[in-house]
Amino acid sequence: MTPATHFAEREHLICTVARMIEEDKSYWVGGGGEPLYTILLAQRLYTPGVQYLTEDGVVSPKALLPFDPLMTMVASGAGYRALQWGTMNTAGNFAQLGYVDVGILNTLQVDRFGNVNSTVLGPYEGGRGRRFGGPGGADTIAAQCWRTILMTDQQKRKFVERVDFISSPGFLEGPGAREQAGLPAGTRPWRVVTPWALFGYEEQSCELMLMAVSPFVTVDMVLAEMSFTPKMAPKIATLDPPTEEELTVIRSSLDVEGQTTGRGQWIELREGKYVFAETQGRE
């Protein structure tokens, strides 16, 4: 494994989450962008036997890569050599029965209690906010998987005290709220990962807790890109940079066009330190 010398923020994000994936757990990845890339990357480099589910009821495929744009579900490449083909309700049933350990999701906004907004930025009523597509499968994933990993960008407008709209549940208003809303006991948000940082939750309060930062930022830089102050782990670790092997998989098989990872800033190794690159974007 060779540490990378030049990479995009979102590539780093995908690699961080891919390394959290465990071979003996089952996963449901939301949608078709970064969450799907994390499991595909892990399957290729770290956990070849890992089992995953997609929203159209595909069980543990050996996906044929790369995918055409948007063809990440109900598509022959995405469902190639699966163990079972089902439907959205079969996927929902597996999760509701407790068979799915970890859900991986993207979010537009996240708050202190890990609630997920994929519906609207700003007010809901009257079409005055900036509208997005809705929860999709994420509501079921966040409600039913035993643990949920959220992926988002490290931006002040994305880390807010209370999301503008709870599309999918985190801890809702705090301890005990999920059970009161009818969600299964023992299910919970688990991690929030951004290109800059890794968060968990403090057990007692269910509040977001900073656990680690990336090698190209400081804790203060992360906190400056949040609208609230998170709990802090006793010791803040430093995340490893991507490896060249990981980047090769991402660039040659997953996000070949750079549609997902091409946005955001670039990082390079300069004089032994990881710093933001002066030139941005993939040429």
Partner 1 sequence: MEIIAEGRGDYLKPDPAGFRAWVRDHKPRTLINKLMSEREAVQRFVSDGDYFAYDCNYFQRGPSALIREVIRQGKKDLWVCGKFTYVAVALLVEAGCASKVDIGFVGFGPWLSKAVAAGRVQTYEYSNVVMTYRLQAGAQGLPFIAVRSFGGTDGFPHSGAKLVKDPFSGKPVVLLPALNPDVSIIHVHQADIYGNARVFGTGIAHVECALASKKVILSAEEIIETDEFRRDPGRTSIPHFVVDAVVHAPFGAYPGAVQGRYTSDVAHVVECFGAMMQGNLQPYLEKWVYSVSSHEETLEKRVGWKKLQELQRRETIREGYTV
User: Which residues contribute to the site for partner 1 (CB under 8 A)?
Assistant: 55-58, 64, 68-71, 73-77, 79-81, 85-89, 91-92, 96, 119, 124, 126-140, 143-144, 165-169, 172, 177-184
With contact defined as beta carbons under 8 Å apart, do 231 and 237 qualify?
no
Name the residue nearer to partner 1 (CB basis): 123 or 281.
Answer: 123
Instruction: Provide, rounded to whole angstroms, the least separation between the CB of residue 138 and partner 1.
Output: 7
Question: Which helix H or strand E contains 36, and what residues bound it?
Answer: helix 34-45
Identity of the amino acid at 200: G
> Which one, of 84, 97, 195, 211, lies nearest residue 145 by Cα?
97
**For the residues of 169-196, what is the DSSP string, one character each?**
-SSTTSTTHHHHTTPPTT-EEEEEE-SS
Q: What is the rounded CA–CA span in Å between residue 258 and residue 247?
A: 12
Instruction: Provide, rounded to whole angstroms, the least separation between the CB of residue 23 and partner 1.
Output: 24
**For the residues of 121-137, what is the DSSP string, one character each?**
ES--GGG-SEE----TT
Instruction: Provide, rounded to whole angstroms, the least separation between the CB of residue 199 and partner 1.
Output: 21
Q: What is the rounded CA–CA span in Å between residue 169 and residue 117?
A: 9
Instruction: Provide, rounded to whole angstroms, the least separation between the CB of residue 212 and partner 1.
Output: 29
Name the residue nearer to partner 1 (CB basis): 129 or 215.
Answer: 129
Name the residue nearer to partner 1 (CB basis): 12 or 178.
Answer: 178
For residue 60 the two structure tokens come to 């543990």
Name the residue nearer to partner 1 (CB basis): 26 or 214.
Answer: 26
Name the residue nearer to partner 1 (CB basis): 70 or 278.
Answer: 70
Instruction: Provide, rounded to whole angstroms, the least separation between the CB of residue 123 and partner 1.
Output: 10
Instruction: Provide, rounded to whole angstroms, the least separation between the CB of residue 122 and partner 1.
Output: 9
Instruction: Provide, rounded to whole angstroms, the least separation between the CB of residue 257 and partner 1.
Output: 10
Q: What is the rounded CA–CA span in Å between residue 199 and residue 212?
A: 7
- Where residue 272 falls (left for φ over 0; alpha for ψ -120 to 50; beta otherwise) is left
C-alpha separations of 144 from 81, 87, 115, 123, 169 in Å: 26, 17, 14, 28, 10
Name the residue nearer to partner 1 (CB basis): 207 or 246.
Answer: 207
Provide the CA 41 distance to its chain's centre, in angstroms: 13
Instruction: Provide, rounded to whole angstroms, the least separation between the CB of residue 80 and partner 1.
Output: 6
Name the residue nearer to partner 1 (CB basis): 3 or 176.
Answer: 176
| Residue with the two structure tokens 């991986």 | 104
Alpha helix locations (H) across 101-243? 138-144, 177-180, 219-224
Q: What is the rounded CA–CA span in Å between residue 110 and residue 257?
A: 28
